[in-house]
Structure 1
């Protein structure tokens, strides 16, 4: 069955698949080919973050004929998903990385298993077929890390489906995160609002991890550390958020006195100072967002933390594998 909704007027279309791309010429065709082969009809909304590498030409020529939202600048994954949300008219909204290739049954399995949950995550596989992620787990220091067990705190934003009305009701997507933690922050807000998040290991996606964001780069570490702190300040118990912000600042201040500093970008004082400045500049907006999240909440922050946060903290500066 062809997946393009226009070719299936007799079938109910439940999902708009939002694909975010930036300089995705090397892999966007494979992603769109996989969507065209889906067993379940859907709409495709491709958000192009001002690509300048021929991506737009490849998308325009593809037989899937996705709706395209071309942004004037690169707003990152979070900004692109936020820009797409007002355009989604279907019951469900799927998030999909442009370097992801879903199995033909991927969307059907997500839709069928979602049930009463607000979101459902997929199984992301590495090139060798091993599991990269079944979702996001919450560590004892508030990082969102890849989970490889079915009981997860949240979905991995690289391939998931969410109820559109619920996503809007909990405040949408934090566009200014740019990249990373938009999924963990959304999972926090869904949990606080009393919603469930499902995991669908049979909904499989081959994922070229980090094709656009270069995990391990200084930008990756800045986004990762900054957005973890912002997520905690927005969503976590106040004591946890304050503890982690103070801990990050204290480690930064003591790094020049240490003789055993690891040679990694997230242990470089200038990068960490930039993270702290970014967080402080955003503090007024973050406090306002926290108040709004509190207003929408049906479950206490401490209860969510006690239920989902890991007992063992990760080493300072460790990174997620997404």
Structure 2
């Protein structure tokens, strides 16, 4: 019986997947691992790349030309998984030969706990998600002594039932921030994430690279989603403190977006986030991240 399903959302990913998927197949050799691919841009040939690398009974391919987003793609793929655990893995990540064996061993040690797998990108090494006073959530440096808030969506292991029980990713967020939203909700509910001493090479940003329109869409979503994540997952007392900090942070971020030529989509995102905040908050009825969660996160060091 398979233990692990690798869940991958594809978008303009055929060239990258042709490089990385063979490393996944080698790493999965002899292990109880399946694959599910949610393809949000099926016309670019990913299906052929997958068929050339994997036997038909080893994977499921879920195309959707409407491009519902990374969050919806992950949820759809996890819904089809029949294994006890899922590994969310971006298509621009390479797997060393022993990576999946080490991940499966970590699952066996503590099956009920999410795992943040490390990623090497942009000249640094990162494991999971960290809090940040300016951007609210960032990639957590591997050198930070405290544990992660939760796993990054680029390389995350979840018990399948846990992911489903918390509603998976908020599909309205579309992309960029949906993993932080889930991380805050899990942390507030007492679920802690283990960092795994494994760092995977990660290209990062392949789906928007070289496309100014998509870069603008990313800037819009990051600005909007930062506000929506706070509105959804923070308690009201923490929100009262966070709002002025976020206001100052957005002034600093606006200066950066000016230099990048992305100020207009950034401002649209801020405006949209402010308008959609109340509706976003109503979509989550569970426990929220407050001062007790914040104190625990800042003071408890990982083992």
Out of 190, 208, 217, the residue aligned to residue 213 of structure 1 is 208
TM-score (norm 1): 0.78
Alpha-carbon displacement from aligned partner over 1:158-208 (angstroms, at most 9, x marks no partner): 112101111111221111211111211111111112111011122x32111
Out of 2, 17, 28, the residue aligned to residue 28 of structure 1 is 17
Query: CA 1:247–1:168 in structure 2 vs 1: closer, same or farther (change >3 Å)?
Result: same
- Identify the residue that residue 132 of structure 2 maps to in structure 1: 139
Distance 2:261 2:246 in 1: 14
Q: Determine which structure has the larger helix proportion and give its number.
A: 2
Alpha-carbon displacement from aligned partner over 1:188-240 (angstroms, at most 9, x marks no partner): 111112111011122x3211111113499322222222111111111123244
Query: CA 1:76–1:213 in structure 2 vs 1: closer, same or farther (change >3 Å)?
Result: farther
- Identify the residue that residue 34 of structure 2 maps to in structure 1: 43
Distance 1:88 1:28 in 2: 21
Query: CA 1:61–1:271 in structure 2 vs 1: closer, same or farther (change >3 Å)?
Result: same
Out of 166, 170, 174, the residue aligned to residue 170 of structure 1 is 166
Query: CA 1:186–1:252 in structure 2 vs 1: closer, same or farther (change >3 Å)?
Result: closer
- Count of equivalent residues: 287
Distance 2:48 2:274 in 1: 41
Q: Is the aligned partner of 1:181 residue 2:170?
A: no
Out of 273, 279, 282, the residue aligned to residue 288 of structure 1 is 282
- With 241-250 and 115-124 compared, the bigger mean Cα shift is at 241-250
Give 5+ residue unaligned stretches, structure 1. Answer: 1-11, 311-322
TM-score (norm 2): 0.83
Alpha-carbon displacement from aligned partner over 1:59-85 (angstroms, at most 9, x marks no partner): 233335421000131122212102222
SS of 1:72's partner is: coil
Checking the alignment, whether the CA contact within 8 Å between 1:20 and 1:80 is kept in structure 2 is yes
Give 1:91 shift: 0.6
Q: Is the aligned partner of 1:275 residue 2:269?
A: yes
Give 1:262 shift: 4.7
Give 5+ residue unaligned stretches, structure 2. Answer: none
Distance 1:285 1:43 in 2: 37
Checking the alignment, whether the CA contact within 8 Å between 1:31 and 1:101 is kept in structure 2 is yes
Q: Is the aligned partner of 1:63 residue 2:54?
A: yes
